[in-house]
Amino acid sequence: MMESNVFERTSNGEQEISPSLYNFTIGAVLCWGFLVNWLMVGYISVESIQSINPWVFFIGYFASCFFGIYLFSKSSNPLVSFIGYNFVVVPFGLIINIVVSNYDPSLVLDAIMVTGLVTGIMMFLGTLFPAFFQKIVGVLTIALIAVIVVELFQIFVLGIHQGWIDWAVVIIFCGYIGYDWGRANQIPKTLDNAVDSAAALYMDIINLFLRILRIMGRK
């Protein structure tokens, strides 16, 4: 997860929209990202992605993600933020394409449904208890960094991957979804903030999905 300053925003004179339109915009932007990913999985072959030099792929992946995050976190223009959002969606889609190719389509569909259910529950809890999630966000960040370090050490030094790592990441991103959704509804309800909030939530949800898929795949 790569945090931005989206949720630190205060009113800067931008015109606010109605709560229903604000939430609809968040949902629509999220659906756009998921649609793009679905099309990428359907129409881009895994072989074409794997044929890219690994260094070129990963440098391009991180460069696109960081550039996209910079755009949507710094801009107050919803169009610019939406462009930045797509710079995040596309590289994530390439990773999703590679990962889901290793699983049966029915299992992928099950993982999507579980992810949707968990996301809905955490958004509901984030709406009810925004203060709680705000209090634990520091712990979530420290835990995520620790898990990433441990996972990288296991993979590149020990050559193993323990299942508890995936469960830990699922719990962490559940917390992030609750936090991000609660905060999204506390900042000024502008069109740009809706796009930016959707971008942050998109990264939470995709990370959650990939880990749920891995957990279900082991069964």
Q: For residue 182, is it within any domain?
A: yes
Q: Compare 152 and 201 and report the one with higher pLDDT.
A: 201
Contact 80, 71 (CB under 8 A): yes
Q: For residue 8, is it within any domain?
A: no
Report pLDDT digits (tens) over 83-136: 999 999 999 999 999 999 999 999 999 999 999 999 999 999 999 999 999 999
Q: For residue 150, is it within any domain?
A: yes
Q: For residue 142, is it within any domain?
A: yes
C-alpha–C-alpha distance, residues 14 and 77, integer Å = 10
Name the band, by pLDDT with cuts 50, 70 and 90, for residue 155.
confident
Strand partners, 190: 16
Report pLDDT digits (tens) over 43-55: 999 999 999 999 9
Between the alpha carbon of residue 22 and those of residues 54, 185, 196, the distances in Å are 39, 9, 11
Q: For residue 3, is it within any domain?
A: no
Q: For residue 4, is it within any domain?
A: no
- In angstroms and rounded to an integer, the radius of gyration of the C-alpha atoms of the chain is 17
Q: For residue 11, is it within any domain?
A: no
Q: Into how many domains does the chain fold? A: 1
Using alpha carbons only, give the angle 164, 168, 173 rounded to the nearest 5 degrees: 150
Where are the alpha helices (H) located in 51-190, listed in sequence order?
54-74, 78-100, 105-128, 130-153, 163-184
Q: For residue 138, is it within any domain?
A: yes
Phi/psi of residue 16, nearest 5 degrees: -90, 155
Note the pTM of the prediction, 2 decimals: 0.90
Domain limits at 185? 16-218
